[in-house]
Structure 1
């Protein structure tokens, strides 16, 4: 079933209230154990912030080319809509930045809610001042123009995984990232995963309340089962 734009935004707001750890546990229960993304993808802000949105994929590659810009990159980001999270794939640790502050501002203006970059970024001081979360593989002052070029967008891409070498990311899969790392939720199970993660979050809240009230760990395990 295709989700409407309004439904996607509503689900995103709910996803922002659950933790990646609970989402990961639910995915394990559903037989989807390899959705975690590599811990090499780290948040740029000094305080670790949460990020979540529907994947809008942008793919590129290292390739020498003439010119003073990357028009394909501009075309790619022009398709972003509210609730999208830009996912940049193409080359991993190649030593150049895929984007910086100015393009991030343009993406944010279109309603993009963050960026997950399997590559490099720059202008980190300015990005840090924006209300725009970014998780990336590395930092570098070296621009991509003439070196790295966008070759496709809104296609299936691969990102490095936590428990597997690669995780396939498709347009409109959901990406959630927080202090524990980043994880992919396949679009077909996004609503089920969210509902079950919300229930698990509530169970944990009750367990904490019981422990703070004096219950022992064996008491809460007997009452609630393993969490």
Structure 2
């Protein structure tokens, strides 16, 4: 898929809900793609998150105070439309804050999905850079947690299964209902079905607003 096509897919995904994407994935047999309910937008007004997964993995590794060179190298490889997907075992610490968020945005990164913590939430909110994470914390990663790989398969906490595998190039979508991962090989099929469900829901809402009863709508449109 070329850059223009990827940008168009991302634009279209921003117009559908995670709930419809989840239903489309179910129909294709992908039943465990939802992420844990703890994933939330930071700040709460962050808006929707949509883009192609660029994975970053780290682990608790005590070291001398100073920068994390691997983290910086990983972030420098981000491309426009990517979502940086952070995984690891860093309970209680943040994986990044305001300055790295600014650096990611400068490279065209469309946001971040963090199976861990972030900080500088109010300042990140001023960057128009959506971040979904499991928690926020003032405790930095420096001297505690280091990046050890990028663009490798990672595993994030799931909603209906313990872990959800995220491969580089999968698609990430998050909104008010939560976050979900669409495997790369079905990104376009899921999108077409989610768009169909979206149009169906719009028609139902329109009929309900003009006085059609819920039962009549179900009789007309079937299961939703």
User: TM-score with structure 2 length normalisation?
Assistant: 0.97
Aligned mates of 1:124, 1:218 — CA distance in 2: 44
Task: Measure, in 2, the Cα distance between the counterparts of 1:194 and 1:102.
Answer: 33
Distance across 2 between alignment mates of 1:199 and 1:156 = 31
Q: CA deviation at 1:163?
A: 0.3
- What CA distance in whole angstroms lies between the structure 1 residues aligned with 2:215 and 2:94? 51
Q: Deviations over 1:188-225 (max 9, x none)?
A: 00000000100110011111111111111221112111
Conserved? CA contact 1:48–1:178, under 8 Å = no
Partner of 2:93: 96
Moved over 2 A (4+): none
Residues 58 and 155, structure 1, Cα contact 8 Å, conserved in 2: yes
What residue is the counterpart of 2:202 in the other structure?
Answer: 205
SS in 1 for 2:195: helix
Q: Which moved more, 1:203-212 or 1:11-20?
A: 203-212
Aligned residue in 2 for 1:39? 37
> Secondary structure at the residue paired with 2:23?
helix
What 5-or-longer segments of structure 2 have no aligned partner?
none
**CA distances 1:164-188 after superposition (whole Å, capped 9, x unpaired):** 0000000010000000000011110
Q: Deviations over 1:105-128 (max 9, x none)?
A: 000000001111111111112112
Deviation at 1:67, TM superposition (A): 4.8
Matches within 5 A, 1:165-176: 165-176=162-173
- In the TM superposition, what is the alpha-carbon distance from 1:46 to its structure 2 partner? 3.1
Q: Distance in 1 between matches of 2:158 and 2:113?
A: 13
Q: TM-score, normalised by structure 1?
A: 0.96
Structure-2 separation of matches of 1:47 and 1:113:
15
- Identify unmatched segments of 5+ residues in structure 1: none
CA distance in 2, matches of 1:18, 1:46: 19
SS at match of 1:182: strand
2:10 corresponds to: 12
Alignment length (residue pairs): 224
2:20 maps to: 22
Residue in structure 2 matched with residue 217 of structure 1 by the alignment: 214
How do 1:128-207 residues align onto structure 2 when only pairs under 5 Å count? 128-207=125-204
C-alpha distance in structure 2 between counterparts of 1:95 and 1:205, whole Å? 42
Q: Deviations over 1:26-76 (max 9, x none)?
A: 111111110000011111123362111100000000011235110000100
Q: CA RMSD in A?
A: 1.0
Q: Which piece of structure 1 moves more, 210-219 or 77-86?
A: 210-219
Say whether the 8 Å CA contact 1:48–1:179 is kept in structure 2.
no
Give the drift of 1:137: 1.2
- 1:149 is paired with a residue whose SS is strand
